[in-house]
Amino acid sequence: MATLLAGPAAWGHTFPPVHTVVVQVERCEIALLIGYAAGTGESTERIIARVASQPKSHAVDALRDTLAAYALAPLTITVDGVAVVPTAVRAKIGLDAGGKRPVVVVLASVAMPRGGKLAIASRDPRTTRISWHDRGSSRVVADAAPTQGKWFSGVASFLLPVGAPPGGSSCATPASSHSSRSASSAPAR
């Protein structure tokens, strides 16, 4: 696996890591789909070192968990300036289209039972692009929001005004749980 990850740098080409974030507004929560492709060079070497320190029988789990941590690391999610923690996290791993770099797709759910200003900040805006969709929840304040379905690259903070759920219906606030190792987060093959 180390040879596969280190290969592109040996050819003299380097690629930065890439974070792709899609924010989907639901009736009672925000679903974040975060794609991450490891960069070549030093960032991939750090990933390899972390995975290599694990027993071989845990290599796939270690790679998935390490890539998921790298995917989430530069991102901060806040509602009205208060940091929020995802209520559920699931991750799948694979290879990029060229079959050379490891990638992970992370689905993180954030409870949002009331309205407020959702902000997603990236400590590495040069490698992050963000888009959003409201698939029928009617919660986004459209006239104050960035264009839906458009990619915003290189932004350090992405703000999305979200209203309360329509119809005055209440949303249950789920108990906090964090799981990146569940039956549905088995590695993609």
Q: What are the sequence ranges of the domains in the chain?
A: 2-167
Tokens of 140: 């986004």
Mean per-residue pLDDT, 70-83 = 94
Question: Which residues, at least 6 apart from 166, have a Cβ–Cβ distance to it below 8 Å?
Answer: 27, 137, 138, 139
Closest CA to 43 of 93, 102, 91: 102
For the cut 80, the answer to whether the pLDDT of residue 102 exceeds it is yes
For the cut 60, the answer to whether the pLDDT of residue 53 exceeds it is yes
Tokens of 108: 């993180």
Closest CA to 20 of 82, 105, 123: 105
For the cut 70, the answer to whether the pLDDT of residue 186 exceeds it is no
Whole-prediction pTM value? 0.78
Burial class (CB in 10 A: 0-12, 13-18, 19+), 164: middle
